[in-house]
Chain A
Amino acid sequence: MADHLPQYHSARERGYLLCTDCEKLHSISQEGAHCDRCGARLHSRIPNSLSLSWASLLAAVLLFLPANLLPIMTFKSFGQGEPNTILGGILHLLEQDMLLIGLVVLIASIVVPVLKIIAMTILLCTVQFRLQTNLRQKTIMFRIVEWIGRWSMLDIFVIGILVALVQLGNIAHIEGNDGATAFAVVVLLTMFSALSFDTRLIWDNRKPDLPSGVSDKKDEQ
C-alpha cells in the first residue's frame, strides 16, 4: 500500500484532518468546525490531550496509596473478623491454597494498575520530551494498556457481589469500606488518562526526512 509513497507523511503535514468519530478526511482549515457526515467536532489532535492525560495519571498515582492502604471490605462472622486491604485479601486467598484465583486477583488489582501507570508515564514522556525510539512498540503498548485496564474493576465487582450476597445478620456479614471507593476512582482515572491520550502525538515527533524513516520502511517489506 505504501509502495508508491516516497515518504511517510501525516495527514496534518499534508493539510488534512481526520474526523475521529466517522473517519472522514477533511481539510485542515475545518479545525473546530463540525463534520458534515457525522456532526462531531473536528480536531486534528485531541485538544489538551497531554495535560488532561498527565492530570488524570497524577491523580491516579496519588489515590493509589489510599486504595492499597485502606481496607476495601470487612467480613464478619459471629461478631469476629477484621477489615481487609486489597493485598490482605490476596494473601488470604494464597494462604488457603487458592493459588489460581489469588493470582487472577493479584494481576487484576495490583499488577495491571501498576503496569498501566508505568506505561502511561512512558507514553506521556515520549510525547513530552519528543523521544523518537520504538514508536511502533509504544503504540502496541498503548493498545494493550487500553484494552486491559478495565479488568482492574474486577475487585470492585467482587466486593459488590459479596456484599449483596452475604447479608445474614450475625451469622455472616460482609460490608464494603472506603478503600474500595479510592480503588474504583484509581481505575476510572487511569481509563480517563488513556482515553484523553492521542496516539497520533507519538508519531508527530518523527521527522519525515530522517534516514531512520527510510530504513524502517525497508524492514517491513
Chain B
Amino acid sequence: MTKVLELRSVVKAYDNKPILKKISFEVNSGEIFGLLGPNGAGKTTIIRVANHITAPDKGKVILKGRNKARFLSKKIGYLPEERGLYKKMKVTEQVLYLAQLKGLTKEAALKKAKIWFDKLEISTWRDRYIEELSKGMQQKVQFVTTVLHEPELLILDEPFSGFDPVNAELIKKHILELKEAGTSIILSTHNMGSVEELCDRIALVNAGEIILTGPVKELRKQYSEGMYSVVFKGHTAVFSNTLWTGGEIVSIIERDEFTEAIVKMSGRISIKDIIRAIIEKVEVVSFNEILPTMNDIFIKLIKK
C-alpha cells in the first residue's frame, strides 16, 4: 500500500492559541480513513492543512511523496461540511466551472458530468439554477463537483448530512465504489454508524491531539470489556451456577423457547473453559462477544 497523504508533526496556532499540537497520520491508497472528534477538536483545521488551504506553522504535509505540493491539490476532491454553491449558476455550469478550476477541459468535464448526473439521478435538473434546487439535490450536485475530476484523495466532511436515508445509501454506495477503484478517502463525521460501516482506520482527535488511531476492528477489540451474549435453552439458575466465578450476568431475558444472557466475563477462567462447562449443563444456541461500538469508545475517551 502506498501512502497518498502524510501529515508529520503538524503544528498550527491562531493568535498564539494552539489548534493542532503535533498531528501525525497517514492515509494509504484505497482506504477510508475516519477523522473523528468532538466539535472544536481541530478537525476542520486538519482538513484545511491536508487540503493545502492553510499552511502548518511547523511540520510537513506530504502529498504523494512530495512536500509543499500545492500544485498537486488538483488531485484532491474536497466536500466541506458547510456546503455551498453559486446560487445564480446553473447546475451544469457550476459543475463545469469547478472541474475546469481543477484542470479538466470543458469537454472532458462535460462527459464526466453526464455520467455522474445519471449515477446520482439529477440529469433532469442539470439546466436548473442552483437556487431552484432542494437542499438534498444541491448536496448531490456538490458531491458531483467533488468527485468529477477523479481525485486520488477525497476529503469528505460529514458527507451524509442533509440526505434522506435513501440518498444517504446512494452516496454511501458511490463512496465505496470510489474506494474500490483505489481512491483514498478521509471521512470526517460524527455518525459513528457510518464509521464502523465504512472506515478501515480512524484517528480520534481531541483538543488538537490524536488520542487514538488504528484499524476500526482492532480498536473495538482493544476496548472490549469482556461482554458476551449467550443464548441457551435450559434453566437460568443452572446457567448461573455453571458460570460461577467465570463471569457475572449483567442482564437476562427469558423467552418462551430460549433465554438470552448478557455476561461480563471476569477473565479468571478462559472463555474456552467457560463454553465447555456451559455446554455440559444447558443447550447453547449462540455465544457471541459484544464489541463496544465506536460511539462507546468515542464517548468513553472524550469524557476522560
Chains A and B are bound partners = no
Give chain B's interface residues, CB within 8 Å of chain A: none
Give chain A's interface residues, CB within 8 Å of chain B: none
